[in-house]
Amino acid sequence: MQHKEKGISLGILSIAMVSMAIILILALMKVYLSNQIYHESKKINLIEAEVAALKEEHSILQMNVEQLKYKSRITDTIFSMEENREITDAAEEEVPND
């Protein structure tokens, strides 16, 4: 009668250890990649917020520029009208009355 050994052989143990090591490496890689993706997405969200703020600031500045252009045109027109009035008044003063 032969006595058969019960238990785990060295081959099965080594296969189990290699399998566990591969699973552990894959899990660590997944955690690392997920962590990197999370940090990159945080950076992207911050940059997108800055872009939105800069776009809003740009539109506000453009409105200010348009207001200043309008004000400048009105001021130039008023200044021109006053100059014309002064020239007309000066010309009328030079003309002798009969």
pLDDT digits (tens, 9 = 90+) for 4-21: 667 788 899 999 999 999
**Lowest-pLDDT range of 34-38, 51-55, 67-71:** 67-71
Give backbone dihedrals phi and psi of 36, rounded to 5 degrees, phi first: -65, -40
Q: What is the pLDDT of residue 94?
A: 61
Q: What whole-number distance in Å separates Cα of residue 39 and Cα of residue 30?
A: 14
Cα-trace Rg, the chain = 43
Least confident stretch, 10-14, 26-30, 41-45, 49-53: 10-14
The whole-model pTM stands at: 0.55
CA distances for 50 relative to 39, 40, 44, 45, 61, angstroms: 17, 15, 10, 9, 16
- Gap between the Cα atoms of 60 and 54, Å rounded: 10
Specify the pLDDT at position 3: 61
Q: In this model, does residue 34 exceed pLDDT 80? A: yes
pLDDT at 80: 73
Which residues, other chains included, contact 16 with Cβ-Cβ below 8 Å and sequence gap of 6+? 8
Would you place residue 86 in the very low, low, confident or very high pLDDT band (cuts 50, 70, 90)?
Answer: low
Q: How is residue 56 written in tokens?
A: 């809003």
